[in-house]
Amino acid sequence: MSDFLIAPSILSADFARLGEEVDNVIASGADIVHFDVMDNHYVPNLTIGPLVCEALRKHGVTAPIDVHLMVKPVDRIIPDFARAGASYITFHPEASEHIDRSLGLIRESGCKSGLVFNPATPLSYLDYVLDKVDMILLMSVNPGFGGQSFIPATLDKLRQARQLVDDSGLEIRLEVDGGVKVDNIAEIAAAGADTFVAGSGVFGFGEASDANHYDSIIRKFRQQLVQGNSI
């Protein structure tokens, strides 16, 4: 596995300078923009919607935008995000009455689809829809807030998900979200993740829009991934 992708979560960025923050983090070598959508209903926090996604596209962001829906219900908002320029749209199975339909809706809208698993959500939700997902996102914290600690049980779950994906022969990214830092990313990669969301680990140092800082953080992530990969 060589194509590790780093997906900074803009939840921890300086929202007053979001376009600049995203430009800087992508210029520093990040691959994907992770876009956390919270509705104060499915999760106890409220963030950003399709207008902000569209604004980033209009600003000139061309990197893939990975929309992580923490909203309930999910279906109505899917076409809005597709129109706003989302690349991936992922949702939590507990938030949809009809998981297969929601996955279909995402692909029909022209986006890549994914399911998100809370720490206590079983992978069995994938049993009959594995061929309909382009991404499996394992939460390594409970959703709703940045800056929480990585839950170690996620490592075992990652190994199970990796096995599932490899056995299927399908092209599915395995993403991890929550508490990913320079000091644990190698272990997380070794457990099978190939796509790494990091919010506070990238933006959370009170040095908003300092491009040098982002360069150094992304470089450290990559170093860890290369070292971990060669063990």
Span 69-108, contacts to ligand DX5 by CB under 6 A: none
Report CA dihedral (208, 212, 216, 217) to the nearest 10 degrees. Answer: 20
The structure tokens listed for 39 are 């509705």
Q: Which residues are registered as beta bridge partners of 6?
A: 196
Is 6 an interacting residue with respect to ligand DX5 (CB under 6 A)? no
Active site residue 177: yes
The phi, psi pair for 223, rounded to 5°, reads -60, -45
Least separation in angstroms between residue 177's CB and Zn ion is: 4
Is 8 an interacting residue with respect to ligand DX5 (CB under 6 A)? no
Instruction: Tell me the residue nearest to Zn ion as measured from the CB.
Output: 68
> What Rg do the C-alpha atoms of the chain give, in angstroms?
16
d(CA 102, CA 129): 11
Alpha-carbon distances, residue 31 vs 5, 21, 22, 70, 164 (angstroms)? 6, 14, 11, 22, 25
Is 68 an interacting residue with respect to ligand DX5 (CB under 6 A)? yes
* DSSP structural state of residue 96: -
- The single residue among 23, 66, 177, 194 that binds Zn ion, judged by CB under 5 A, is 177
- The single residue among 82, 141, 174, 218 that binds ligand DX5, judged by CB under 6 A, is 141
Is 119 an interacting residue with respect to ligand DX5 (CB under 6 A)? no
Is 197 an interacting residue with respect to ligand DX5 (CB under 6 A)? yes
Q: Is the peptide bond before 73 cis (omega within 30 degrees of 0)?
A: yes
Closest to Zn ion by CB, 68 or 92: 68
Is 148 an interacting residue with respect to ligand DX5 (CB under 6 A)? yes
* DSSP structural state of residue 37: E
Chain residues in the site for Zn ion (CB under 5 A): 36, 68, 177
What residues act catalytically? Answer: 36, 177
Chain residues in the site for ligand DX5 (CB under 6 A): 9, 11-12, 34, 36, 68, 141, 143-144, 146-148, 177-180, 197-201
